[in-house]
Amino acid sequence: MEMLLALIAILGMGAFYCLIAYFLIRLISRKAFKRTLTKYETIEILVWAAMVFFAIVMIKNQSWNMLLPVVLLMVSMINLRRSNRKYSEMSKEMKKEGL
**47 falls in which pLDDT band (50, 70, 90)?**
confident
Q: DSSP alpha helices (H): ranges in 1-99? A: 2-31, 39-61, 67-97
Q: Are 25 and 45 in contact (CB under 8 A)?
A: yes
User: For residue range 78-90, what is the model confidence (pLDDT) as tens digits?
Assistant: 887 887 777 777 7
The structure's pTM equals: 0.65
- Alpha-carbon distances, residue 72 vs 4, 19, 68 (angstroms): 31, 26, 6
- Maximum average pLDDT range among 10-14, 46-50, 65-69: 10-14
Give residue 62's identity as a one-letter amino acid code.
Q
